[in-house]
Structures are given as structure tokens and as C-alpha cells.
Amino acid sequence: FSLIREQSRRAIAEADSLIFLMDGREGLTPMDQEIADLLRGVNKPVFVAINKIDTPKSDPLISDFYALGMEPLYPLSAEHGAGVAELLDALYPLLPAAPEGPTADIPKVTVVGRPNVGKSTFINTLLGEPRLVVSEAPGTTRDAIDTLVRYKKAAYLFIDTAGIRRRGRIDPGVERYSVARAMRALGRADLAVLILDGVEGVTEQDTKIAGLALRGGRACVLLVNKWDLRADDPDAKAKYEAELRRRFAFLPWAPVLYGSALEFKTVSGVFPVINRALKAFAHRVPTAQLNRIFQDAIAANPLPIRKGKPVKSAYITQVAAKPPTFVLFCKHPEEIGAPYLRYLENYLREQFDFAGTPIRIFAKAK
């Protein structure tokens, strides 16, 4: 509880306005009164909201909260939306103006991994302050938490997520909701930093989380945490790299870093790798240059043979970035199988710096 109290104090200090939310069904609790005492000395607008007031029959539940001497009270139902508009109407005039300048261009980096691998520790070390609650107990982080970070005059939006467990081990209720939020955070990110446990090794769940990033078309960097605990083992890195090659055979292009999330040297060392991956993620290749490379590729390894004749008159173009996506146009795209598309991907990676990003290649009829 002391950790949560400290986080609350920091949140109050940073906020422009505060919403004090209480549970109408439970009534006024000693913890509510303690928080109210904390807020009395705050020279900021405080909106007192009573949740779970779902129907008019629930209105008598509000009376207990007048004992706090904090008015007005805003009864509402977060589940059904009742009363939320009234709270927002009161809050809206006090909100600060949106900052000027482009914010959509700030790269979004989500920090993902199994529970208790060090995701929040990573961001706290990055900030130099305990912004996120860190505990030995798995599942401390319940929500996806956005943190704006500036490093060497560049801005990044880091998103700390709840640890993603195996589906069968996800508890119903809050944890299932937290994991769903983590997956949505992964969907809105440009790049995922997947944190692995250097002591426990790579697990099946790690590969599944990496698969989520790959299917979502996100750039990816692997950070092997707690590596300081294996510093005395001279063979540890070779063993771990062999395990990574076996478990992450589908992710050979992802850079791998080793270190401790407790050390700023490790955390700051991630930025050059992130920048390189983000640059590759957004890279566009001019069509003329791309087709010169493509002609070299098919000269070294011709397109598949169809009915005794080679597929001819093919060309390629990049149709999208984030991630780089290419379309190979030819007469018989059904003859271009997955092995040849992988060959083309590997050839393009040799010619261009696509480290840290997936690339997609599709074959279509001309």
C-alpha cells in the first residue's frame, strides 16, 4: 500500500485537476477518508465521483459520502455511462490547451513481456524516478501506462503494459482486462521492446508475445534482462543465443541486447537500436532502385518455372511503410511460393538496412 500511496502523491503533484473516485456500493471506507485527507491540502480542483450508482434506487447510497464535506458529488455509472457527461462538463473548462506542434509523429514504443520480467523497472530506470509501481508480485501493472520520454532532444512515447500470461492462466476479471489493454497497446505502437528473463530463459509464452508483435507488423527489439545475474557464467551468452535462434527462428532480424533494467547504461543503450529499427520501419525504397535490386535477385535465383517456362516480365514496387510492404507483380502469382518470397526478403535485407522491422512481400497478378 505504501507504494501505491507514493504513486498517488506523485500523480497529484503532476496533475492539473483531480478526480477522486469512490465505490458507491461499498460506501465510505477508511481508505476513502485517508485519501480525502490527503486531497484537502491540495490547491487544485478536485471532482468527487461516486461510481456504481446504476439506477435511481442506488441514489440513497450517495448520502454517506457527504460526511467528507467535499461537494459537489458526481454520482455516475462507469459501466453504463450514466452521469459521466455531467462530470466531463464540469472538468472540461479546466483542462489545459493541447500542446502546439506535431505530436502524431512521436514514435510509440510499447514494452511487453511476461509478468515480472522487469517492464516497469525498465521505464523507471529510464525516467530516473519510480513512476510505475514495481513489486516482486507478478501482475503489479494493471493498465497500459503512457510515459513521454525525451532523450538527446528526441521524444518517445513509452507504453508499459501488463504482463501477458498464457491464456489458460489469465484470471477472469481485472487481469483479463489488463491483458486485453496490453494487446491494444501493442496494436497502436510503432515498435515493441520485448523484455526476456535472462535467468529463466526463453519460454513458449515469450515466443507467443513475439508472434503478436510480428502479426501486428510492429518493429521489434529484444532485451534480455537480469543478465548481471549470469555474469559469472562465461558460456551463458552462447547458450542463450542458441536458444534465441531456436525459439525465435521467425524473428532473425530483431536486434538482441543484454543487460539489467536496473542500470541506466543498459536502458540508454536501447535508444540507438530503437532509432535504427524505427528508421527501417518507415523506410521507402525508390521504385527504380528497387527494381534494379530485384533484377539482380532474379538473375541470381530465377523465378519459379511454370510448365517448363520461366515466369517472365515481373516487377516489384513498395506500396507501404510501417512496416515496409512490397508487391511483386507477375503473370502467374500462384507459382510464387513462400520459399521464394523468403528468398526475396532475405535479398532485400542484404541490400537495405531493414534491421529491427518486419517486411512483407506479396505476389499479385499484373
Q: What is the pLDDT of residues 126-175, one digit of tens each?
A: 877 544 333 333 343 344 467 788 888 888 888 866 544 444 444 444 44
Q: At 178, is the pLDDT very low, low, confident or very high (cuts 50, 70, 90)?
A: very low
pLDDT score of 204 more than 60: yes
C-alpha distances out from residue 11 to 6, 185, 269, 317, Å: 9, 21, 28, 49
Angle between helices 2-14 and 30-40 (to 10 degrees): 40
Who wins on pLDDT, 179 or 223? 223
pLDDT score of 217 more than 50: yes
Structural class in CATH, domain 108-281: alpha beta
What's the mean pLDDT in 300-323? Answer: 81
Q: At 193, is the pLDDT very low, low, confident or very high (cuts 50, 70, 90)?
A: very high
Cell of 57: 434506487
User: For 100-111, what is each residue's pLDDT tens digit?
Assistant: 655 558 899 988
Note the pLDDT of residue 333. 85
pLDDT score of 5 more than 80: no
**Interatomic CA distance for residues 80 and 54, integer angstroms:** 7
The domains of the chain are located at 2-94, 108-281, 287-365
Fold of 287-365: GMP Synthetase; Chain A, domain 3 (3.30.300)
What's the mean pLDDT in 316-340? Answer: 91
Who wins on pLDDT, 211 or 141? 211
User: For 236-257, what is each residue's pLDDT tens digit?
Assistant: 999 999 999 999 999 999 999 9
pLDDT score of 185 more than 80: no
User: For 8-62, what is each residue's pLDDT tens digit?
Assistant: 777 788 788 899 999 988 889 998 898 888 888 888 899 999 999 888 888 888 8
- Mean residue pLDDT of the chain comes to 83
Note the pLDDT of residue 104. 58
Note the pLDDT of residue 7. 67
β-partners of residue 111 are 160, 193
CA dihedral of 2, 3, 6, 8, whole degrees rounded to 10: -100
Q: In this prediction, what percent of the chain has a pLDDT beyond 70?
A: 83
Residues contacting 260, CB < 8 A, separation 6+: 225, 226, 227, 228, 266
Who wins on pLDDT, 225 or 174? 225
Cell of 247: 525459439
Same fold, 108-281 and 287-365: no
Q: What is the pTM for the complete model shown?
A: 0.72
CATH number of 2-94: 3.40.50.300
